[in-house]
Amino acid sequence: MNKRVVISGLGVISSIGIGKAAFWDALTQGKTGISEISSFDTSAFSTHLGGEVKDFQAQTKDVGRASSLAVSAAIQAVCDAGLDLANQERERFGLAVGTTMGESQILEEINHPWIKDGHQAIEASLIPKYPCNVLGINVAKALGLKGANMVIPTACAAGNYCLGFAFDLIRTGRADKMLAIGADAFSRLAFIGFNRLFAVAPEKCQPFDKNRKGMMVGEGAGALLLEPLEDALARKAPIYSEVLGYGLSCDAHHMTAPYAPGIAKAMEKSLRESNISPQEVDYISAHGTGTPANDREECLAIKKVFPEHYKKLAVSSIKSMLGHTMGAASSIEAIACCLALNYDLLPPTINYETPDPECDIDCVPNRSRGQRINIALNNASAFGGNNACVVFKKYN
């Protein structure tokens, strides 16, 4: 079987807005979600800013923050799709959650008393809240979903991996509905790690700018509801886009350094599976972290895959506004792709000041731009060289 698969529901928790309407409004206005970090003391570090989600009201109790973010985004997506869960066959409604850090804040809660007073001081109730598989379990429990349940921890490409997994289950008839979710809470561990790698910008994230100094650590969750086209049409659901295909690759090159050939391979595979030529692509949502190496290598990959018209392609990075939300990044960026296709409006790359000859692309600098968009690609890369690209098409 090879059913056509569409996105019919969106849910997003981000530092620039909670819910698709607030998110899209802030995104297209080029608002920043970067602020002084409030969840822990950063005085010992040289950087103090991040993309924390403010005023978030959890809809679940006794779970970690990453699970809470995932559950809230999932509920939004189900409601947005107009689904009545009471009328769904729960055994054929599944989900996939992507993450980088899992419940890292729970690990921190375990670690502090352990170091101070020994392992007997650890609160026993924290232990079952920590393993990363709890993200999928907690979403399933909150919504009563009994279908396929997968947690994919392929770091900062995990959201796209989940989209690919969900897409395969729907198009082959192994599931009726799937939620593809990415979620990560703001992590002291990630903040320390990226600072130790000297990868965090001191003031602002400037993807593709010649003077870019690094990324910003963020948090959030994105959830997309996938279902067969015929089902969405039958119940007159909103259709944000059609998923045409995806491509995966592994650089097998370096644990942290991005690698253009691997990034290009994922894009090439996604186009081939989708039966799309490079000339048909209108927009690329870039991984675009703002580090010197990432943006250079991603631009090299784009030039390899689109040698004839890469300068005509719109390529923007919403991480300039949200920071890097880790496992949630490509899920939230997929939502941006869906909304861009719906509104024919390109999200900008903010903080762009100085052109870089190595990144001579159209990064939609500083302001959103109206443009007819029919095909959008969503790029994601991760430590270890995991790359994933998903192709979305406007549904007419």
- List, by residue number, the catalytic residues: 156, 287, 324
Terminal alpha carbon distance of the chain: 23
Cα(240)–Cα(197) distance, integer angstroms: 38
Reading the block at residue 93, the tokens are 């409604």
Instruction: Write the DSSP string, 129-197.
Output: G-STTHHHHHHHHHHT--S-EEEE--GGGHHHHHHHHHHHHHHTTS-SEEEEEEEE---HHHHHHHHHT
79-84 — which CB contacts under 8 Å span 24+ positions?
Answer: 79/9, 79/11, 80/9, 80/10, 80/11, 80/20, 80/225, 80/238, 81/8, 81/9, 81/225, 81/227, 81/237, 81/238, 82/8, 82/9, 82/235, 82/237, 82/238, 83/9, 83/177, 83/225, 83/237
Sign of the C-alpha dihedral, residues 341, 72, 161, 22? Answer: positive
Cα(163)–Cα(179) distance, integer angstroms: 8
